[in-house]
Structure 1
Amino acid sequence: MRQSIVHIAIVVDDYDEAIEFYTNKLNFELLEDTYQSEQDKRWVVVAPSGSNGTTLLLARASKPVQRDFIGNQSGGRVFLFLNTDDFWRDYNRMTEIGIEFVREPKKADYGMVAVFKDLYGNLWDLLELNEDHPMMKRFSESNFDGC
């Protein structure tokens, strides 16, 4: 049996500001932006440039209870993990354009890592996994380039 996680929904305040952040700051690709007539919603999907794995569904909060989770999707823990093929290239570019890193880069057993905030405050790991990391084998087996 083959299954995969296709989308991870992330609650956002505004579609357009979220699209701007993910495409212009993180260099993600906008894969879909389709208006849905019910409740003035849009189906907005972004993904890291060059990846063919899981995507992010940018879901605008439509109820007060959902608004409470904007920027705190995981209760203050790191929520998402962005793997790159060049940690220092991406870290330097991200700091130059003002993305806030809350934990400085460090070499860990699994590779290079630093923690940054997205536009709403959700925490992300920027990673460059070691070539011998078990996930890198999964990336290569699925024709995934590791990003």
Structure 2
Amino acid sequence: MERPKLGRLATVAIVVGDYDEAVAWYRDRLGLDVVEDTDMGEGKRWVVVAPSSGAGARILLAKASGEAQQSRIGNQTGGRVGFFFETDDFARDHARMIAQGVVFKEEPRHEPYGTVAVFADLYGNLFDLIEPRKAAATKE
């Protein structure tokens, strides 16, 4: 049997406590664009943010509904980094993010795969800011 040929991973969901506070944080702190904000009725919205470059997956800001979802706000991945933003200039974006009030959980570190630091969103979800090693540098 032939395997499916899926396209790119288009969207990931992050459970949030409030649409407007989440939009403001991701827009103002990370510089993401609001690419969709559709009222779905009954207090629900389809809110999607994404890098202005259009590269990579988009983020659906999904408001928690019920106790089970509320309990996951800020800890969707059990305390692990669950989301990764790449940059072509770590120092530039790290400094810009700090200036915008983003809280980094550690100092930048150099790993075999690149320069990285962990930061948290307004709810405590963990992200990596990473500048991957250049492909040429890995062919040493």
TM value normalised by structure 2: 0.90
The RMSD of aligned alpha carbons is: 1.3
Is the 2:28–2:100 Cα contact (8 Å) retained in structure 1?
Answer: no
Instruction: Give the match for residue 23 of structure 1.
Output: 27
Give the letter aligned to residue 11 of structure 1. V
Q: Tell me whether 73-82 or 97-106 shows the greater mean CA deviation.
A: 97-106
Query: Which structure has the bigger radius of gyration?
Result: 2
Aligned residue-pair number: 132
- State how far apart, in whole Å, the 2-side matches of 1:7 and 1:110 are: 24
Q: Is 1:46 aligned to residue 21 of structure 2?
A: no
Q: Give 1:34's match in structure 2, choosing from 29, 35, 38.
A: 38
Residue identity in the other structure for 1:15: Y
User: 2:18 is matched with which residue: 14, 17, 36?
Assistant: 14
Q: How does 1:21-100 map to 2 (within 5 A)?
A: 21-37=25-41, 39-100=42-103
Q: Which amino acid aligns with 1:99?
A: V
Contact 2:85 2:127 in 1 (8 A): yes
Identity level (%):
50
Q: Which runs of 4+ in 1 moved over 3 A?
A: none
Q: Structure 2 CA distance, aligned partners of 1:111 and 1:100?
A: 20
Would the aligned equivalents of 2:38 and 2:46 in 1 still touch at CA under 8 Å?
A: yes
Instruction: Determine the C-alpha separation between the residues in 2 that align with 1:125 and 1:65.
Output: 26
Q: What SS is found at the alignment partner of 1:103?
A: coil
Deviations 1:73-110 (A, max 9, x none): 10000010010111111101111222111121011111
| Aligned ranges 1:67-146 → 2 under 5 Å | 67-132=70-135
Structure 1 residues without counterparts, runs of 5 or longer: 134-147
Report the TM-score when normalising by structure 1: 0.85
